[in-house]
Chains A and B, each alone.
Chain A
């Protein structure tokens, strides 16, 4: 039986308002399922390769981090009467993996009223609108399907998975771009604390999209060869795809069913720069504020943080500003806390990225190892923190902080903490 009754980090929390992570499911370019993913992440595997989703010959760049090993037929939709597209397939796969990982969590056959799902995403199902555009340009409007309205709206990822799993609780999509996974976890945290839900699946999903690729390519933000967060010679991000879900439940609920808790969600902070749509605030005020709010809400002192999973996209500006933000919040301690960017391996899985990174934080706590920042060969003097270059590290992690930033000036930080047993 799990016992979290004594917790050194927040003694004032009761069993009913503490939210624990009891299941993890991931679909990534370097591994599908918690064990394969974690092994690949600690080994420093890269999921980057030539894009196969569409022809990139008209683009100046050609690399992406696609989930090439994914077999949609293993996660077929049988309760949704229209074809579910790739992001929904990823989401369903990750959700099912998370549920089966959450030992003995059974989704009842009857109406699962207290179980909900919240899905973060950047693009929802971009391939549906891409097909619409192909037909529209060809003048073949009549080919636009009667299921377009059922398969495209921004909320379709959550509804598709909820229909397939028979979930009747809070079902919603949070399309807050590259911070969406963290936003989804924050939403689920609220829903559980308010007592409106007993169990929530929280995470994110995105599939490779020519729209996103065209946009980042036009911004000059895509690296031509390597994703090298915090390296002096970093030249950008690499678009990716994937999905991740965490099973979240109240501690008392987990205890009743004798579930193992990997960690707990201790708090979160969300803020907005209100400065620029695509550029972060030049002094990283918003990013720092999100971290401060998160630590305060988790009742954690900055010096108690053992690991930071950076947003770390590999663009020159992001990595420099994130370093500034961390220093603003952590002061001198910033130089002692290990920080790494798994985007060096996975590319940027958009709305799924911070959900995947949340899984990495939770596993770092559970396993006592920190994934590396690969391709970090020549440290940038402006990015002078301990970025765990090249190889994974054994390190006891009691508290992990997960950062994610997005277009629209969105900043998000989530704090995960060891659930003492």
Chain B
């Protein structure tokens, strides 16, 4: 008998608030974290928008020790881990006898730190680089820094699967618990907005174009023309259900199953892209023991991207068949942008909050679904819903797909 996987805490640093509750009410209120890029606006870029953490002050979350060894991505991850641990009501004293594991997903790691380090060596010579910065040039730096800060001595891993990385970390963590390699895992993701990622995405032409209509990202809308880059960090505390109950923890939800699949055409073959996402959703449903009709809502990966949103619509139509018509679907990247590895944990956290509050955010700005769209249940406004089971998708630019089924705890 495999062990059951409980979620006992969530921690988020997002442009719309630092808790699942704050983020969900902001999204349900139609608010968005997307704003004009202050420092890039005059540079003649195609995109003028991003969803950034302009308010992030690490000392607000992390105190008592020097922050200087942590780069910004590490600070974001360490802060979100701290919020998740606090939310799970598990003090460092109580944790001291456990080897808590950490699985961190990231698309770019400390890319900005790496690039700055390299540029310093080029401009001022290799002797002038800082050893402290060098420690942060390894891609697992954020996981190492968070482990040191929170004394996490268990498995410490970093997974990279593009913008699917954060949800991937949660899946890997669930397996570590199910196969008894850990009792408790902090799992989530971090990616920061940087000049490197912005310039890189600018070149792809995938971002929302300045002056286009609509100018903002509207997932699934027939007029959508791109996404905006976001940033953030999100972590969840996953525990063996028995372990959680033994310490009297509040159980927020249960991870029932997940599956990954890879589209080796990376979207160039749209049929294969749809089939791959169908495979990951079917796999997750089958592992969870649920039929599509058992699912109360979907938290979609859709971010406003012209091709990937269409792939997800078609795949959802195939998996849910006739019931796709009524299926409630939310797409929170309308509010937080494409936060890369932080997106999946934000989707998981807000889905849990939907179980609790009965509120499902709408897709802000949605006016018209594409012709022939098999899903009619996508709304621009928040709805009230009695939900116990959710399917969460992450679909990558680079072919990765991952689906997770989440359920509120059945006693």
Contact = CB atoms under 8 A, between A and B. Distances in A.
Given A144-B200, A274-B153, A172 B399 contact: no
Nearest to A116: B262
A129 interface: yes
A172 B140 contact: no
B131 A218 contact: yes
B114 interface: yes
Interface in A351-371: none
Contacts of A173: 159-161
A272 B147 contact: yes
A60 B162 CA distance: 37
A281 B119 CA distance: 31
B67 interface: no
B87 interface: no
B125 interface: yes
A272 B99 CA distance: 9
B158 A155 contact: no
Contact of B131 (A162, A165, A219): A219
B370 interface: no
B147 A155 contact: no
Interface string A131-149: 0111011000100111111
A406 interface: yes
B201 A130 contact: no
A278 interface: yes
B139 A163 contact: no
A163 B264 contact: yes
B144 A407 contact: yes
B172 interface: yes
Interface stretch (A174-182, A240-248, A320-328, A377-385): A174-182
A277 B135 contact: yes
A154 B118 contact: no
B196 A132 contact: yes
B179 interface: yes
A137 B123 CA distance: 8
A60 B272 CA distance: 52
A171 B160 contact: no
B203 A144 contact: yes
A215 interface: yes
B262 A410 contact: no
Contact of B153 (A165, A193, A219, A271): A271
Interface in B94-145: 99, 102, 106-109, 111, 114-115, 117-119, 121-123, 125-127, 129-131, 134-141, 143-145
A211 B157 contact: no
B122 A144 contact: no
A270 B119 contact: no
B123 A408 contact: no
Contacts of A147: 203
Contacts of B114: 126, 129, 211
A276 B400 CA distance: 33
B119 A136 contact: yes
A408 B160 contact: no
Contacts of B126: 58-59, 213-214, 217-218
Contact of B138 (A136, A177, A219): A177
Q: Which of A126, A190, A297 has the most CB atoms of chain B within a 10 A radius of its CB?
A: A190
A162 B264 contact: yes
Contacts of B397: 149-150
B165 A155 contact: yes
Interface string B142-185: 01110110111111111111100100100010011011010000
Contacts of A77: none
Q: Which of A155, A273, A275, A409 has the most CB atoms of chain B within a 10 A radius of its CB?
A: A155
A80 to B, nearest CB: 8
Contacts of B398: 150, 153, 155-156, 159
Contacts of B259: 196
B203 A154 contact: no
B179 A79 contact: no
B358 to A, nearest CB: 34
B153 A273 contact: yes
Contacts of A338: none
Contacts, number: 253
B159 A129 contact: no
Interface string A246-277: 00000000000000000000000011111111
Contacts of B150: 274
Contacts of A38: none
A124 B129 contact: no
Nearest to B69: A277
Nearest to A191: B175
A303 to B, nearest CB: 24
B127 A176 contact: no
A306 interface: no
A192 B106 CA distance: 24
Given A190-B179, A193-B179, A274-B147, A58 B261 contact: no
Given A111-B272, A133-B122, A152 B138 contact: no
Nearest to A184: B157
A122 B129 CA distance: 19
Contacts of A116: 262
A146 B205 contact: yes
Contact of B159 (A58, A134, A136, A172): A172
B266 interface: yes
A316 interface: no
A148 B264 contact: no
B262 A274 contact: no
Nearest to B264: A163
A270 B157 contact: yes
A149 B261 contact: no
Contacts of A214: 117-118, 121, 126, 129, 134
B263 interface: yes
Nearest to B175: A190
Nearest to B268: A81
B266 A163 contact: yes
Given A126-B114, A148-B199, A216-B134, 16 more contacts: A111-B275, A121-B139, A132-B200, A137-B122, A144-B203, A148-B203, A153-B398, A165-B264, A168-B263, A190-B179, A194-B179, A218-B130, A271-B155, A274-B153, A407-B138, A408-B141
Interface of A: 58-60, 79, 81, 111, 113, 116, 121-124, 126, 129-130, 132-134, 136-137, 141, 144-150, 152-156, 158-159, 162-163, 165-177, 183, 187, 190-191, 193-194, 196, 210-219, 270-278, 286, 289, 297, 406-410
23 contacts: A58-B127, A124-B139, A132-B200, A153-B160, A168-B262, A168-B276, A172-B260, A172-B400, A173-B159, A176-B157, A187-B157, A214-B134, A215-B129, A215-B131, A270-B157, A271-B155, A272-B156, A274-B147, A276-B148, A289-B153, A408-B143, A408-B144, A408-B147
Interface of B: 69, 99, 102, 106-109, 111, 114-115, 117-119, 121-123, 125-127, 129-131, 134-141, 143-145, 147-148, 150-162, 165, 168, 172, 175-176, 178-179, 181, 196-197, 199-201, 203-205, 259-266, 268, 272, 275-276, 279, 283, 397-400
